[in-house]
Amino acid sequence: MTLLRHILLTALCGLLFSVAAAQPAQPDSTPVPACDDPAALSAQVAELYLTLTDLRERLDDGDADALGAVYEAGVRYQAIALECGYIPSDVNMLVINTTDIDRVLTVLETLSGDPLKGQLLYDAQEPSAAGDTLGCSGCHTLGEVAPITEGTWTRWDEVGSGQERFADYDFTRYTVESILLPWEYFVPTYPEYTMPDFYAEQLSYQDLADLIIYLESQDQLP
């Protein structure tokens, strides 16, 4: 019975993963900005400006897509600023949309997490900022297809932090990488590729801060 339950849970987690992964990805039309090259970065910004040079004519002609072009240019301007390290005052509300761990950690330093909100997210009782219901508790409750939630911080403190791979990590970096880049490391004895790798597109920075502080509270003894 235990083996059958293990197989069913693995299949269920895989099904949730495949359904969510099947959602169409949003196209990214913004090239990677040359943040370390002022001249190249200025050229990229100027190129965006050129897409709006005929805006007055389009508006005068009643072009229904003219305002859409303004909106898209604004989105791309914002993407460049964010990629180059700008942290806006409403960063907590922004969906992460990057797996640059250092960038994410820099933003998280400006935020405070709420463990109660983190638990609601984790247990699928509240949606993420992107409107998605997370499947964390579905795979981490029993500990058969993924590490059990209880004792998450304790396992890090007593086992994970002592591994050579994580010598330069703290709990926050370990957790951020585990959530945003789950295929970079697999916990021994558990099936690989069970955890989906799309949470950067589902979580806001505040969601992530709340999840981290909730998991940090899981200090039960083994």
Average pLDDT over residues 35-44: 91
Instruction: List % helix, strand, coil for the chain (3-state, nearest 5).
Output: 55, 0, 45
The predicted pLDDT at position 31 comes to 65
State how far the Cα of 166 lies from the Cα of 175, in Å rounded to an integer. 11
Q: What is the pTM of this model?
A: 0.82
State how far the Cα of 50 lies from the Cα of 160, in Å rounded to an integer. 51
State how far the Cα of 113 lies from the Cα of 205, in Å rounded to an integer. 10
Q: Name 147's Cβ contacts closer than 8 Å, sequence gap at least 6.
A: 140, 155, 187, 190
pLDDT at residue 218 greater than cutoff 50: yes
The 10s digit of each residue's pLDDT in 82-134 is 989 999 999 999 999 999 999 999 999 999 999 999 999 999 999 999 999 99
Average pLDDT over residues 124-150: 95
